[in-house]
Amino acid sequence: MGALSLDEIRKAQRADGPARILAIGSATLQTKCSKQRISDGNSLFWIAHPGGPAILYHIEIKLGLKAEKMKATRHVLSRYGNMSSACVFFMLDEMRKAMEYSAATTGEGLEWGVLFGFGPGLTVETVVLHSVPL
């Protein structure tokens, strides 16, 4: 298989990206979170790659997340657009800014979080994060 152009990747993401990402991502998240005995996604802070509004919406629905869980992600997406992998650094910075709002930790006041990213070929990266006290 030859290399895909950026336009071809984006077209595939728009066509069936949310379904594929959810199929792969939700299984990955369950595996990672079960090791920490975390069963409720709303008890975590979230840093999710913002592939687009449709993908974020489907992630929220599939995982039963409250809309505010994707607040930092939606902010970065609306302000900068989809910057591919670099987005996660901007979202980590948004989490860091929680200090300005008197949060108890760097993760919106929560102890545990998830960094969830995906890329071409639907590679999914998932990291369980442990926030630090301020």
CA–CA dist 35, 69 (Å, integer): 21
- Domain contains 16: yes
Q: What is the count of structural domains for the chain?
A: 1
94 by Cβ neighbours in 10 Å (0-12 / 13-18 / 19+) ranks as middle
CATH number of the structural domain spanning residue 124: 3.40.47.10
| DSSP H or E segment with residue 92 | helix 87-96
Condensed to tens digits (0 to 9), the pLDDT of residues 11-39 reads 555 545 555 555 444 545 555 566 666 77
Residue % of the chain over a pLDDT of 70: 61
Q: CB neighbours of 17 closer than 8 A, spacing ≥ 6? A: 51, 52, 54, 55, 122
Range of the domain at 75: 6-130
CA–CA dist 41, 48 (Å, integer): 12
Q: Of 95, 132, 119, 131, which Cα lies nearest the Cα of 10? A: 119
Residue type, 46: W
Window from 21-30, 83-92, 115-124 with minimum mean pLDDT: 21-30
pLDDT score of 57 more than 70: yes
Q: CB neighbours of 16 closer than 8 A, spacing ≥ 6? A: none
- Domain contains 1: no
Work out the end-to-end distance of the chain between its first and last CA atoms, rounded to an integer number of angstroms. Answer: 49
pLDDT class of 78 with cuts at 50, 70, 90:
very high
